[in-house]
Amino acid sequence: MNTQAISAALTLPAVQGFVNDHAWVWPVCEMFHYLGMSLIVGLIGTLDLRILGMFKILPIGSLKPFVPLAIVGFIGNLVSGIVFVTGNATGAEFYVENLSFQLKVVMLLLAFVNLVIFQVTGLEKAVYGVPAGGDAPAAAKAIAVLSLFAWAFTIVFGRLLMYNDTLLLFLGL
């Protein structure tokens, strides 16, 4: 499947029409996108930093109730993100053919694979059992570093996608 076919499949005239007819849709989706971003960074980022040894006074398991809330934030961003891609006035190719967007998707996939590894290896369970003052296993620290990296660069590439030419120039492309 080439990028044109993907763009055609992801361009939804109904969403485009809705975005076009209501000036509030795009900025309101952006607000939810920033809110979801803040929840992910504030909640998952704090968990990552604790795994890395900051805020040691916290039992790691005490942060667990915040994870579902971060997932809610992520779903909000998925929905608003889908509106951006499918409802963009010039079509989904603005995103699909945009290197910054492609790299943002790679970062999201990295965060996802990282999370799956965290869960299936049993590291998540082990980490939530770490008491106040305790150290997380080294493997969990590696996962936490990857998580912080993936989310930070999800934001960076997300911001860069409106300035894709700057990224291309930087990379000499």
Partner 1 sequence: MLENSALAVWVRESPSIFAYTLVLSLHAIGLAMVVGTNTLIALRLLGFAQGMPLGALRRLYKTIWAGFLVNAVSGVLLFIAEARSMAVMPAFWGKLVFVAVGMFVAVKLKRGHLDDESALASGVVTPPMRTLAKISLVCWAFALVIGRLTGYPELVTAWFGI
For partner 1, the binding residues (CB under 8 A) are 23-24, 27, 30-31, 34-35, 37-43, 45-46, 49, 54-55, 57-59, 61-66, 69, 132, 152, 155-156, 158-160, 163, 166-167, 169-170
DSSP 54: S
How far is Cα 103 from Cα 169, in angstroms, rounded to an integer?
A: 15
Q: Which is nearer to partner 1, 61 or 137 (CB)?
A: 61
Please report how close the Cβ of residue 170 comes to partner 1 at its closest, in angstroms: 4
Q: How far is CA 22 from the centre of its chain?
A: 27
8 Å CB contact between 54 and 60? no
Q: Kindly state the smallest distance separating residue 133's Cβ from partner 1, in Å.
A: 11
Nearer to partner 1, 58 or 143 (CB): 58
How far does Cα 98 stand from its chain's mean position?
17
